[in-house]
Structure 1
Amino acid sequence: SGARLAAWCFNGRFGKDILEIFPPPEQPPMLNTGTKTRVEQYLHFLKEDIPHWLPAGLVDATFESTLMETLLEVEKAQRDIFTCMYSDKSMVGLVHQNMQSDNALFWRDEAGGVQAGFIDWGKVKQDTFGWELACGFYAIQPPEMMAACDMQLLRIFIAEFEAEGGHRIGWETMLEHYRLCWCLLAVDVVDNPSIIWQSSIHTTPGQLRRVPSSEDPRIWHLPDVARGTLATVLNLAHLWKRLDMPGFFAEWRKAHPG
C-alpha cells in the first residue's frame, strides 16, 4: 500500500498537481540534542532492566562504544543527513509516515485475496520513502520479526512501486536511505527508556527485571504507544550490528563531510 501511494503520485492516478497540493519536505525546526546522556540512559536500560530479553553478547563493549561514538557524530550531522535525503528527488513522494499495523485496514477482495490500506490519513505527506519504511518497521514486535523481513520488505516496496508506474529505484539507494533514517531514529529512540519507565507499574526502573520476556501479558496489555515505544528500543539494539550502522555511517560521513 505504501508503494502504491508513492507510485500513484507520479503516474497521474492522483492527478497532475498532487505534489503541488502536498508541499515538499522541509528540514525539521528542531533537532535532537543531549545524545550523550540519552545513550548512557539507553545502555543502562538494556543492561539493568532487560538484559534477560536480549541475546547473549548483543550488548557488549563494541556495541556500547560504537553506539556512543556513532550517535554523537549523527547528532552533529542531522541537517546534513536530511539535506542528502531530500536532495534525491527519486526517493521523495507521498508517504504515510505512521505506516504501522494499528493504522492499517485489511479486507478480502472479490477473489478472496487479502488487501490492505491505510487509516489516519493526516499522516500522509511528502517525504523520503526511507522515512515511511523505517518508521513503519521500527515498532515491529518481536525484534526477530523485523530482522527476518525488513530487507525483503524494502525489495517488495521497490518492485511494487515500479509495477504501479513509478520510476526505477536502485537497491543501494533504498538501503542507504533506510540506514540514514535509522541513524536519525536512533538519536531519538535512545531517549525512549524515559517514556517506558513512566508507562506502567510494571515498567518503572528495575521492575522489568521481573518480567521474563517482551511477550509477557504485562507487556502486551500496555497501551499501544508504550508497547510500541518498547519495541523501538529492542529493534535498535538488534539492528545495530546486523546493519553495521557504525561502519555504514563512518563511510557515509567520509563521502558527505558537510
Structure 2
Amino acid sequence: MSDPKILTTEVIDYACGDDTGILMPAHEAAFRAAGEAFLTEAFRAFGSISRMNSVARITRLDPCPGGSTGHKLFLSVEYAFDEPGLQRDLFVKFSRDFDDSRRDHARHEMESEARFAPVSRASGFPIRVPAAYFGDFEHASGTGLLITERVAFGKDGIEAQHEKCCDHEIDDPLPYYQALITALARLAAAHKAGQLVDDIEERFPLNPARAGPDPITYDEAALRKVVEGARQFAQDLPQLLPPDLRAPEFYDRLLADALMIREHRDLLAQYLVGSQDFIALCHWNAHIDNAWFWRDRQAALHCGLMDWGRVSQITFGAALWGCLSAAHLDMGTRHLDALITLFAEEYRLHGGPAIDADGLKQHFFVHVGMMGVARVLALPKVIRLRVPDALQASGPLDPMILNDEAARTVLHIYTMLLTLWSRPDFQNTLDRVLGAANGPTVR
C-alpha cells in the first residue's frame, strides 16, 4: 500500500503576501531560516510592534501537533523592549503541508482567516479572539502564514481546552453554549451595525452560493439509498443511538422529509439567503474546541473564539449549526429555544436588526434539514469504517468510540442531526416554509 503522505506539488520556501507584500516563509525550515529579521519586518508592517522595536530573539520554536490543514508551531520571542500588551508566547500557522496531500488540499481555507486578522485588531472589536501579530496570504499559490497570541489553556484563570463532542465530561454544558452563542450574535450585530472596519464588505463580500448549507447533489435513488443506510445503522447498532431515534416509523418520516427537501432544494436555499437580516460575518465552526473560557469576578463564564479558517458572511442557520452540531444533546432538546432566543436578543441589543426568535428557529431548521440531506445523513458509513467492531460497543461512550476522535465526532454530529429532526417543530417548519411557497404540503 502506498504511503498516503505524498508530495503533491513542488515545495516552495517563500511566498509574497498579497496584502503586505512581505516575503513569508512557507514551512518550518524556511521560518527558522528567516528568523528574527522576518518577524521584526512582519510585526512592524502589521502594527504589532512599533517601528522602533524589534524581535530580539526567538526563545522557542517547536512543532504543534494536530489540526486538519497546514503545519503549526509554538513560538516564543523576546523583544528589544517591552510595549503595552505585547505577548511573548505566540502561535504560528502555515496554510501549507507539503508532506500530506489531504491537508495541503485545504490550504485556501486560510485565505479569509488571514484577511480577518487585521479586522480583529481594530479598536472596539466586539469579541475576544487571539491577538493577531501577522497574517497574509498569496492567492496564486495558496500559501499563507498566520501568527497570533497563544491561548494559555489551563493557566491564569483560563480553563483547560475542551475536546469536541466530549460535553458529557462537563457538569453543566449550558453556560458554555450561552457564552458561544453570545459571542456569535455580538459579532454578527457589529457587522450589521457598521462597527467593524470600513472596508468589511470589500474584504468579505457576500457569496449567496456559499453562505448556507452544502449543495444537495444526490438524485432520488441515491438519496433513498442514503436514508436506507441510516435505517440499517439504527437496526444493526441500536445501542449507539437514543431509544427514540431507533424506531422504524422515524425513518419512514425521515425518508419523506429528505425527499421533499431534495425536491425543493432550490426554493429552500433561496429562503435561507432571502433576508439580509439573517446573514452576517460570523464563525462557521464555533464548536467548543475552537474556543477558550474563563470566569469573571462574579463567576460568569465568558469565551473567546479561535481558528477562523473560512470565515465569511454566512446565514445564521449555518452559524448556529456550526456551534450546536457538536454540543451536548440537551442543547438540541431542552435548551434549543432558549439559546435561539438568546442569539436574537444579543443580536438586537448590540446593533443588529430585530429578528423574531421563532423566525430564527425556522431558519435554523431549514439549514439543518438541507445540511442533513447534503452531508450528515451519510455519516453512518464513516462510523462503520472507523470502528469495524462497533457491534461490540456498549454505547456512544464506549472507549472504542470515544478514543477515535473522528468516530466520536461523526457519531455525535449525526445523532444531533437526528435529535433535531425528531422534534415536532422541525416537521412544522418544513410544512410552513414549503406551504408558504407552494400551498399546503401533503405528506
- Relative to the length of structure 2, the TM-score reads 0.53
CA RMSD of aligned residues (A): 2.2
SS in 1 for 2:273: helix
Q: Distance in 1 between matches of 2:358 and 2:330?
A: 23
* Equivalent position to 1:8, from 174, 190, 211: 190
- Aligned 1:12-161 pairs, distance under 5 A: 12-28=194-210, 30-33=215-218, 34-49=222-237, 51-109=238-296, 113-141=300-328, 143-161=329-347
Q: 1:107: Cα distance to partner?
A: 3.1
One-letter amino acid matched to 2:227: V
- Relative to the length of structure 1, the TM-score reads 0.88
Residues 91-133 of structure 1 deviation map (CA, whole Å, 9 limit, x = unaligned): 0111111111111122345766432121111232101111100
SS in 1 for 2:395: coil
Q: 1:12: Cα distance to partner?
A: 2.8
Q: Distance in 1 between matches of 2:309 and 2:245?
A: 38
Q: When the two structures are aligned, how many residues end up with a matched partner?
A: 250
Q: Distance in 2 between matches of 1:120 and 1:230?
A: 23
SS in 1 for 2:264: helix
Q: Distance in 1 between matches of 2:231 and 2:425?
A: 18
Q: Distance in 2 between matches of 1:186 and 1:30?
A: 11
Residues 177-209 of structure 1 deviation map (CA, whole Å, 9 limit, x = unaligned): 01101111221211001211222xxx22xx323
Q: 1:55: Cα distance to partner?
A: 4.1
More strand by share: 2
**Contact between 1:154 and 1:174, CA under 8 Å: does it hold in 2?**
yes
Q: In structure 2, what is the equivalent of residue 251 of structure 1?
A: 432
One-letter amino acid matched to 2:289: D
**Contact between 1:186 and 1:236, CA under 8 Å: does it hold in 2?**
yes
SS in 2 for 1:215: coil
Q: Distance in 1 between matches of 2:382 and 2:393?
A: 18
**2:178 corresponds to 1:178:** no
Q: In structure 2, what is the equivalent of residue 233 of structure 1?
A: 414
**Contact between 2:324 and 2:331, CA under 8 Å: does it hold in 1?**
no
One-letter amino acid matched to 1:132: A
Q: Distance in 1 between matches of 2:348 and 2:187?
A: 12
**Contact between 2:231 and 2:248, CA under 8 Å: does it hold in 1?**
no
Q: Distance in 1 between matches of 2:299 and 2:246?
A: 45
**Contact between 1:140 and 1:228, CA under 8 Å: does it hold in 2?**
no
Q: 1:167: Cα distance to partner?
A: 1.6
Indicate the structure (1 or 2) with the bigger Cα radius of gyration: 2
Gaps of at least 5 residues in structure 2 are 1-182
Gaps of at least 5 residues in structure 1 are none
**Contact between 2:290 and 2:307, CA under 8 Å: does it hold in 1?**
yes
Which shows bigger deviation, 103-112 or 188-197? 103-112
Work out which structure has the larger RCO, using CA pairs closer than 8 Å and 6 or more positions apart in sequence. Answer: 1
Residues 159-188 of structure 1 deviation map (CA, whole Å, 9 limit, x = unaligned): 111222212111221011011011112212
Which shows bigger deviation, 7-16 or 237-246? 237-246
Change (3 A) 1:89 1:239: same
Q: Distance in 1 between matches of 2:410 and 2:309?
A: 21
Q: Distance in 1 between matches of 2:191 and 2:244?
A: 45
Q: Distance in 2 between matches of 1:240 and 1:87?
A: 23
Change (3 A) 1:107 1:144: closer
Q: Percent identity?
A: 27
One-letter amino acid matched to 1:19: E
One-letter amino acid matched to 2:277: S
Which shows bigger deviation, 77-86 or 55-64? 55-64
* Equivalent position to 1:213, from 383, 395, 411: 395
Q: 1:135: Cα distance to partner?
A: 2.3
- Aligned 1:187-202 pairs, distance under 5 A: 187=373, 188-199=375-386
**Contact between 2:384 and 2:390, CA under 8 Å: does it hold in 1?**
no
One-letter amino acid matched to 1:166: G
